[in-house]
Amino acid sequence: MNWTDERVEKLKKLWSEGLSASQIAAQLGGVSRNAVIGKVHRLSLPGRAKAGGTATAARAPKRNTSAPRAPNYASRVATRTVTRQQGATMLKEEVEIDTVNEIEYRPAANVVVPISRRLGLTELTERTCKWPVGDPLKDDFHFCGNDSPDSSPYCTYHQRLAYQPVHDRRRAAH
């Protein structure tokens, strides 16, 4: 696998978005995380603020609040990215929207919604959240990817959504 202009551009983009080297490697395919890191250095791209720091901290930067996301599963469910201040950090959250009934399923105010790690399919492991985000037919489709404790398929936040019946959610919203 060689570094075509296209792949270099994608590398730059994902690196600037704060994805980790291994995440970028998996999304590019055909390269190791070492290869990604090596390329980053050769391109003289800015390194991470703190070596070995959590990807979350490096990724937390200022985000625009508006800009609704592209529709999700074409018809019924969409997600919208919004930001919220939580202590010193900005959280980016995917808010679900029922496009038919125009209901927004917002997390409770006291719930800390983790920033998605945006993992690709090949990056998922036994302990990463497999909650899908976005349109599977589009390039930015990814999975939540945050830690899923006790071998659950979802992180603690998405567990709540996953096992909550739709009609209950709607009733709660009304």
Interface of this chain with DNA, residues 145 to 174, rule: CB under 7 A: none
What is the C-alpha separation between 34 and 72, in angstroms, rounded?
33
Binding DNA (rule: CB under 7 A), the pick from 5, 6, 42, 110 is 42
Task: State which of residues 53, 68, 136, 149 lies at the interface with DNA (CB under 7 A).
Answer: 53
Q: Are 95 and 82 in contact (CB under 8 A)?
A: yes
For the chain, the first-to-last Cα distance in angstroms comes to 53
* C-alpha span between 27 and 120 (Å, rounded): 6
19 vs 55: CA distance, rounded Å? 7
Q: Would you count residue 85 as binding DNA (CB under 7 A)?
A: no
Is 21 near DNA (CB under 7 A)?
Answer: yes
Quick one: which of 9, 13, 16, 34 contacts DNA (CB under 7 A)?
A: 34
- Using CB under 7 A, list all residues that contact DNA: 1-3, 20-23, 31-35, 37-42, 47-48, 50-55, 125, 127
